[in-house]
Each structure stands twice: as C-alpha cells, then as structure tokens.
C-alpha cells in the first residue's frame, strides 16, 4: 500500500524526516509512535502528498506521490491533528459538506451516511451542532467526514490526543471494524498502549525509525531482561540505583521499579548489593514482561547499557 525509499524532508536545517525506508501492506494497521517533534506529522503529510518530499521516493497504491497525488487522494483519507470541523454546522451537515468537498453528489453521500453512522454511532446526534460534541465525539465525526468517499488508505494523526480513555477505546474499536472491512490504516500516537494494538509499530525519533516490527518483535529485540523491584520506597530505591550508575534506565511504576539488566541473576545480585544497608525494604525482585513503553524508554535513554 505504501513504499517509501530513503525519504527525506528538510525544513531549513531541521531534518524532520531523515532517510526513511519502509513498507505498509494492505489491510494492516501501522502505528508510528514517538515524542513531539519526532517527525510523525511530517511523515503523514508526505504520504498524503500535502508536503513535497526533499529527496527519496514514496509510492502509495503503486503510484508516485509526487506525480499522482490527485489520483491517490481519491482513495485516501488524511485526518490531521486539528481536523477542520464546522462547529456551527450539525453532525449531518458536516458529513454532507465534506462529502461535497470530495466531489460526491448529495445522493452518493446520503447512500453512504448509514454506514458512517453505523460505525461512529453518531446517528442519535445527527442534528447536534459539531461545536456541542464532546472531544471523543468530535474525533469520531472527523473520522466519519474523512471516510465519506470510502477510501482504502486512512492516515490518522494522533486521533485520540486529549480524548478520554473510554472514548479512546471506542475509537480503536472503530478502527478495528474498518480494518475488518479491508482498509489500511497508518496512525500516529504518543500513547504507547495504543501502539500495542497495531499490527506493526515504528518508533520514531529525530526523523528516523529507531526500531520497528510487531510489538512482540520490538520487545524481544531489546535484549536482556526487565526486572521488577517491589518496594515500599520506590523513590529512594530508584535514587540509589540511579546513583550507582549501573543502569541506563530506571522506570518508576506505582509501587514498582523497572530496570533492564543484561543478565537476570547477575542483575538481581547487583541490585541487592547496591541496596544493602540502605534501609530500603525490598519485597520481591522478579522478571517482568516489558511493555512497549518500557522498551521505548530503554531505547531512547542516553547513558549506560
Ligand atoms: P511530530 O508530529 O512527531 O510532533 P513534526 O513532524 O510536527 O513532529 O515535526 C518534526 C520537526 O519538523 C520539528 O522539529 C518541527 O518543528 C519541524 N517542522 C514541522 N513542520 C514544519 C514546518 N512547516 N516548517 C518548519 N519546521 C517544521
């Protein structure tokens, strides 16, 4: 569906996208995660043909984005972070308006509306002004408006940013329903738990993918072992471990500390030695499965291995 080769985008001295090569297959949901400024939005804009690439190439549905962007757009939806809903139009009017922008007739749009209402569950709110919708509902309406022309490829830029957790779950349910209909989705997110739901994930940092693969592949590529230290003094315990300079990255999670070590038994021995005589009560040190968030922190942390 997408084939990018040595893709670059510069803004002056800023290398927003810095030599990316990747493929996205039909029917998959490909997640791009990374901190602010990583280059995620720029990448989506390049795929959608809104921005000119600086060098390299990008094909979408077998067509060159630089040459065939208008043909590609007939089958593509791009939902930017700030989607331009008309707040003083109703839900139904917004859908009609965006359908006309895509060049559809009123009749074609009305034929499509039941499917849009069906997945977005917005029908009961058809006559409500868009400006009066909750954040989650606005995002669903934005998505519905992007999908009036039944695109095969959907690009979503942080669609659940600032949306409450229940609405986020609902939004992801919609994405899965769309996938079941055979569309391809590329979604950027700052939420690592959302990345876990993608078929494949790329972690983006400074314009490049620092790692990519299925969530399981990324976790196994980290190497070493993550240890969970259960203690009632997470803060001081973390400080002692940090001060030792032995560990690259110590993650505090509630009543636990997560630490990556090269080898399990040696790691446990080292931790016990560092904490000996420090008046820290450790209940348990055990091996734990890292989340994608743990992996991302580990990969991006400077310092020791
Ligand atoms: P993200 O979506 O991951 O937050 P962006 O793609 O928005 O990252 O930005 C990547 C980098 O490119 C940032 O340093 C940003 O300031 C810069 N950038 C993005 N768009 C522009 C632009 N239109 N003009 C100049 N710099 C830009």
Using the mean position of ligand 1's atoms as its centre, give its distance from the Cα of residue 185 in Å: 22
Closest ligand 1 atom to Cα of 41: 2
Residue located via tokens 């072992």: 225
Q: How many C-beta atoms lie closer than 10 Å to residue 123's C-beta?
A: 13
Closest ligand 1 atom to Cα of 158: 2
Which residues contact ligand 1 via a Cβ below 6 A?
11, 14, 16, 34, 36-42
Using the mean position of ligand 1's atoms as its centre, give its distance from the Cα of residue 33 in Å: 15
Using the mean position of ligand 1's atoms as its centre, give its distance from the Cα of residue 37 in Å: 6
Mutate which of 11, 35, 187 for ligand 1? The one with the most ligand atoms within 8 Å of its CB, which is 11
Using the mean position of ligand 1's atoms as its centre, give its distance from the Cα of residue 40 in Å: 8
Residue 303 has pLDDT above 60, yes or no: no
d(CA 275, CA 244): 10
Q: What is the residue with the minimal CA distance to atom 7 of ligand 1?
A: 41
Q: What is the pLDDT of residues 146-169, one digit of tens each?
A: 999 889 999 999 998 888 888 888
Closest ligand 1 atom to Cα of 45: 6
Closest ligand 1 atom to Cα of 188: 2
Q: What is the residue with the minimal CA distance to atom 27 of ligand 1?
A: 11
Q: What is the mean pLDDT of residues 226-238?
A: 92
Q: Which residues contact 223 (CB under 8 A, 6 or more apart)?
A: 262
Q: What is the residue with the minimal CA distance to atom 14 of ligand 1?
A: 37
Whole-number average pLDDT of the chain: 91
Mutate which of 12, 37, 161 for ligand 1? The one with the most ligand atoms within 8 Å of its CB, which is 37
Q: What is the mean pLDDT of residues 25-34?
A: 95
Q: What is the residue with the minimal CA distance to atom 24 of ligand 1?
A: 11
Q: Please give the backbone phi and psi of residue 200, each rounded to the nearest 5 degrees, phi first.
A: -135, 150
Closest ligand 1 atom to Cα of 17: 10
Query: Can you give the pLDDT at residue 119?
Result: 83
The sheet with strand 14-24 has its strands ordered as 14-24, 2-11, 55-60, 63-64
Q: Which residues contact 122 (CB under 8 A, 6 or more apart)?
A: 91, 116, 137, 140, 141, 144
Closest ligand 1 atom to Cα of 34: 3
d(CA 271, CA 70): 59
Mutate which of 14, 17, 79 for ligand 1? The one with the most ligand atoms within 8 Å of its CB, which is 14
What is the residue-wise DSSP string for the chain?
A: -EEEEEEEEEETTEEEEEEEEEEE-TT-EEEEE--TTSSHHHHHHHHHTSS--SEEEEEETTEEHHHHHHHHHTTEEEE-SS----TTSBHHHHHHHHHHHTT--HHHHHHHHHHHHHHH--GGGTTSBGGGS-HHHHHHHHHHHHTTT--SEEEEESTTTT--HHHHHHHHHHHHHHHHTT-EEEEEES-HHHHTTSSEEEEEETTEEEEEE-HHHHHHHT-SEEEEEEES-HHHHHHHHHHHT--S-EEEETTEEEEEESSHHHHHHHHHHHHTTS---EEEEEEEPPPHHHHHHHHH--S--
Q: What is the residue with the minimal CA distance to atom 5 of ligand 1?
A: 39
Categorise residue 34: left if φ over 0, alpha if ψ from -120 to 50, beta otherwise. Answer: left
Query: Can you give the pLDDT at residue 293?
Result: 85
d(CA 92, CA 105): 15
Residue 304 has pLDDT above 70, yes or no: no
33-62: string of b/e by CB count within 10 Å (b at 16+)?
Answer: bbeeebbbbbbbbbbbbebebeebebbbbe
pLDDT band at 302 (very low <50, low <70, confident <90, very high): low
Q: What is the pLDDT of residues 286-296, one digit of tens each?
A: 999 888 888 88
**75-79, 122-126, 183-187, 190-194: lowest mean pLDDT where?**
190-194
Using the mean position of ligand 1's atoms as its centre, give its distance from the Cα of residue 211 in Å: 20
Q: What is the pLDDT of residues 92-136, one digit of tens each?
A: 999 999 999 888 999 999 999 998 898 888 999 999 999 999 888
Closest ligand 1 atom to Cα of 9: 12
Q: What is the mean pLDDT of residues 204-232?
A: 91
Contact between residue 229 and residue 237 where contact means Cβ atoms under 8 Å apart: yes
Residue located via tokens 């990583």: 38
Q: What is the pLDDT of residues 243-266, one digit of tens each?
A: 998 887 888 888 899 998 988 999
């Amino acid at each position: 569906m997408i084939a990018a080769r040595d893709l670059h985008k510069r803004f002056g001295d800023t290398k927003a996208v810095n030599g990316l090569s990747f493929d996205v297959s039909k029917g998959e949901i490909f997640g791009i995660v990374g901190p602010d400024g990583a280059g995620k939005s720029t990448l989506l804009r390049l795929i959608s043909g809104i921005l000119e690439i600086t060098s390299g190439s990008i094909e979408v549905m077998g067509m060159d984005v630089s040459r065939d962007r208008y043909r590609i757009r007939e089958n593509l939806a791009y939902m930017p972070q700030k989607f331009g809903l008309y707040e003083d139009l109703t839900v139904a009017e917004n859908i009609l308006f965006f359908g006309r922008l895509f060049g559809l007739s009123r009749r074609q749009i009305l034929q499509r509306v039941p499917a849009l209402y069906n997945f977005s569950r917005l029908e009961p709110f058809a006559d409500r002004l868009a400006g009066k919708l909750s954040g989650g509902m606005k995002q669903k309406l934005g998505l519905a408006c992007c999908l009036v022309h039944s695109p095969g490829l959907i690009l979503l830029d942080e669609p659940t940013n600032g949306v409450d957790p229940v609405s986020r779950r609902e939004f992801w349910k919609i994405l899965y329903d769309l996938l079941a209909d055979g569309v391809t989705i590329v979604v950027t997110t700052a939420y690592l738990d959302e990345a876990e739901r993608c078929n494949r994930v790329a972690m983006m940092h400074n314009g490049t993918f620092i790692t990519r693969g299925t969530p399981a592949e990324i976790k196994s590529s980290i190497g070493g072992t993550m240890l969970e230290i259960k203690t009632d003094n997470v803060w001081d315990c973390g400080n002692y471990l940090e001060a030792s300079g032995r560990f690259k990255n110590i993650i505090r999670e509630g009543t636990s500390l997560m630490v990556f070590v090269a080898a399990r038994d040696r790691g446990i021995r080292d931790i016990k030695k560092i904490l000996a005589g420090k008046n820290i009560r450790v209940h348990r040190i055990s091996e734990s499965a890292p989340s994608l968030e743990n992996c991302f922190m580990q990969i991006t942390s400077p310092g020791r291995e």
